[in-house]
Amino acid sequence: MISGAEIMVKCLQEEGVEILFGYPGAVICPFFDKLYDTDIKAILVRQEQNAAHAASGYARAMSKVGVCVATSGPGALNMITGIATAYMDSVPMVAITGQVRSDVLGRDVFQEADITGACESFVKHSYLVKNTADLPRVFKEAFHIASTGRPGPVLIDVPVDVQQGEIESFEYPDKVNIIGYKPSVHGHPLQIRRAVEMMEKAERPIICAGGGVLSSGAKLRLREFAAKTNIPVASTMMGLGTMPSDDPLFVGMIGSHGTKAANIAIHEADLIILCGARVGDRAVASPDQVVENANVIHIDIDPAEIGKNMKTTIPIVGDLKNVLSQIVKEVGYRAPDEWVTHIGALKQQYKTAPVSFDGFVEPKSFLEKLSSMLRQKAILVADVGQNQIWCANSFKVSDGRFFTSGGMGTMGYSVPAAVGAKFARPNRDVVAVCGDGAFQMSLNELATIAQNHLNVKVIVMRNTVLGMVHELQDFHYNSRYAVTELSDIPDFCKIADAYGIGSAVASTNEEAEAIAAKMLKSDKPFLLICNVHPNTPSK
């Protein structure tokens, strides 16, 4: 006989899960108890939301399903923001929650919450498991759904009696059979041919790379495509890292917080090739205007994204990795050099010198400098707010990665996501950059960092205000700083000290660079506080 809890653990082993992030509670105890006997690492975070963010950071760094676990009721509810964050950024994740006994479900017992109901709109799929015997099939399906097609989070809610229940034996299915779920992975050959023909006629083509390029593992394919065709590449925030920042074909980030050159280029183009980009409102504010003079080829694994935000001339549904290979094989086109030169000129023309303040760190030049100090394949996790924009525009990615909460814009994402990324890639530099607002939403994870001796570096851009909204108030609310002043509380170094983590404060770029150089040499976690002037602009 084998218990449900043991089955759950075996399923994770079958799926090759090596680590999960969680927070226990009474009704998930049977599972954690069985997990205790295995090699799967269970990392105790300090709040459930961070379990999901950590699993997300891990998933993105490993290109593998991240797993997070919480108990019923408040535990599961706390995890929602993390799950929704992963959903908006299409991160493969399996979230497991304990649930109250199935015979008392719906009676509002202690720590009961309808978590499958609550998560309905931000999971790719969810299960409330009523029979122990269903567990192997459910786990098999969940991992399959989370990691195939357009990736996303899948929730498995398991009542405690289902974990305790026993069945004869464990057998893991080797195949899934979900009749309604068969994502297409190859682009339709006819559409590919039409797309290639359309390219031939283009005079001002541009590729717009989104997060889908990275989640499909098509980064090198896209670089090959751009190099072969001489087509310039702009990127959305989620697509940053697709092209090396210093590549002459890279135009920059588009959108309300992107570069002027990239936005002009998109508007001037006569052919836009969207690759795994859903062109959300922050990427292209007025898509109708953009498509007025341009044809659009949209490649995406999710057919629902095609035509949702931008009118499409040629839709291609499929996995970018395959579609780009198909296109590269057929295409013989090269974009005119004048167009590429013109874009190079735009980049030069709109280069702005950052505004600096005496006695404060200028974040953009510091981040640019930091990029050159990190080792190859470094992972930078940006939080949300002004720090996100500074990082997105100034951090130079070459062969490393840039993670951030792009879709949901969840403050507090960076530190726990960096924790997950570091567990995934222990030999790479992992740096979290956040503001003093976001940092205070997840500084409790310093405990997870310290407890696990994780070499995560945290850089806090401390401007004593909620910078992004503060700036908005300057523009639109007559500089009335309603509820955006954080003050200089707390002393972050004392907090770091309490966790046994080294720290230092920088008030000039020279200081910041010197401290960064030193901290990057050490294999210990470190907290670098950069004093930033509250009036430092986002762009």
Partner 1 sequence: MKYTLSVLVENHPGVLSKVSGLFSRRGFNIDSLAVGITEDSSISRMTIVADGDEYIIEQLEKQLNKVIPVIKVRTYSSNEFISRELSLIKVNCPAKQRLDIMKIAELMDAKIVDVSLNTMTLQFADTIERFETLVDLLKPYGIREIVRTGTVAIEKDSVVSRK
Any bridge partners for residue 93, and if so which?
A: 66, 153
Give the nearest distance from C-beta 404 to partner 1 in angstroms: 25
Question: What letter represents residue 504's amino acid?
Answer: A
Give the nearest distance from C-beta 80 to partner 1 in angstroms: 15
* Identity of the residue, 303 or 537, whose beta carbon is nearer to partner 1 in the bound complex: 303
Give the nearest distance from C-beta 209 to partner 1 in angstroms: 23
Q: How far apart are CA 54 and CA 132, in angstroms?
A: 28
Q: How far apart are CA 120 and CA 80, in angstroms?
A: 10
By CB under 8 A, the residues from 137 to 176 that bind partner 1 are 145
Which of 302, 330, 474, 511 forms a contact with partner 1 (CB under 8 A)? 302
The encoded tokens of residue 243 equal 């092209």
The encoded tokens of residue 468 equal 């992004």
Phi/psi at 43 (nearest 5 deg)?
-100, 125
Which of 8, 55, 84, 128 forms a contact with partner 1 (CB under 8 A)? 128
Give the nearest distance from C-beta 127 to partner 1 in angstroms: 9
* Identity of the residue, 125 or 369, whose beta carbon is nearer to partner 1 in the bound complex: 125
Q: How far apart are CA 45 and CA 49, in angstroms?
A: 9
* Identity of the residue, 105 or 450, whose beta carbon is nearer to partner 1 in the bound complex: 105
Which of 16, 180, 332, 359 forms a contact with partner 1 (CB under 8 A)? 180
Instruction: Classify strands 2-3 and 166-167 as parallel, antiparallel or unpaired.
Output: antiparallel
Which of 303, 344, 409, 502 forms a contact with partner 1 (CB under 8 A)? 303
* Identity of the residue, 181 or 350, whose beta carbon is nearer to partner 1 in the bound complex: 181
* Identity of the residue, 179 or 482, whose beta carbon is nearer to partner 1 in the bound complex: 179
What string marks each residue from 103 to 122 as x (binds partner 1 by CB under 8 A) or -?
Answer: -------------xx--xx-
* Identity of the residue, 301 or 378, whose beta carbon is nearer to partner 1 in the bound complex: 301
Which of 106, 307, 490, 500 forms a contact with partner 1 (CB under 8 A)? 307
Q: How far is CA 144 from the centre of its chain?
A: 20
Q: How far is CA 216 from the centre of its chain?
A: 13
- Applying CB under 8 A, the site for partner 1 has a residue count of 17
Neighbour count for residue 39 (Cβ, 10 Å): 8
* Identity of the residue, 154 or 379, whose beta carbon is nearer to partner 1 in the bound complex: 154
Which of 16-24, 166-174, 304-312, 422-430 is the region at the interface with partner 1 (rule: CB under 8 A)?
304-312
Q: How far apart are CA 5 and CA 28, in angstroms?
A: 9
* Identity of the residue, 136 or 385, whose beta carbon is nearer to partner 1 in the bound complex: 136
**H or E element that contains 225:** helix 219-229
Give the nearest distance from C-beta 292 to partner 1 in angstroms: 17
Q: How far apart are CA 154 and CA 141, in angstroms?
A: 9
Q: How far apart are CA 81 and CA 186, in angstroms?
A: 33
Using rule CB under 8 A, residue 350 touches partner 1: no
* Identity of the residue, 157 or 383, whose beta carbon is nearer to partner 1 in the bound complex: 157
Omega into 159 within 30° of 0, i.e. cis? no
Give the nearest distance from C-beta 299 to partner 1 in angstroms: 16
Phi/psi at 497 (nearest 5 deg)?
-60, -40
- Whose structure tokens read 């290639």? 196
Give the nearest distance from C-beta 303 to partner 1 in angstroms: 6
* Identity of the residue, 116 or 235, whose beta carbon is nearer to partner 1 in the bound complex: 116
Using rule CB under 8 A, residue 90 touches partner 1: no
- Whose structure tokens read 């002004």? 386
* Identity of the residue, 119 or 465, whose beta carbon is nearer to partner 1 in the bound complex: 119
3-state secondary structure 2-45: EEHHHHHHHHHHHCCCCEEEECCCHHHHHHHHHHCCCCCEEEEC
Q: How far apart are CA 104 and CA 45, in angstroms?
A: 29
Helices (H), 331-413: 337-349, 363-373, 386-394
Please report, to the nearest 10 degrees, the dihedral formed by the alpha carbons of residues 294, 331, 247, 267 taken in order.
Answer: 0
Give the nearest distance from C-beta 96 to partner 1 in angstroms: 18
Give the CA distances from residue 58 to residues 48, 191, 308, in Å, rounded to whole numbers and listed in that order: 15, 35, 30
Which of 125, 186, 260, 539 forms a contact with partner 1 (CB under 8 A)? 125
* Identity of the residue, 49 or 116, whose beta carbon is nearer to partner 1 in the bound complex: 116
Which of 308, 369, 524, 533 forms a contact with partner 1 (CB under 8 A)? 308
Using rule CB under 8 A, residue 304 touches partner 1: yes
By CB under 8 A, the residues from 181 to 210 that bind partner 1 are 181
**Residue 243 in contact with residue 249, Cβ under 8 Å?**
yes
Can you give the binding site for partner 1, defined by CB under 8 A? Answer: 116-117, 120-121, 124-125, 128, 145, 178-181, 302-304, 307-308
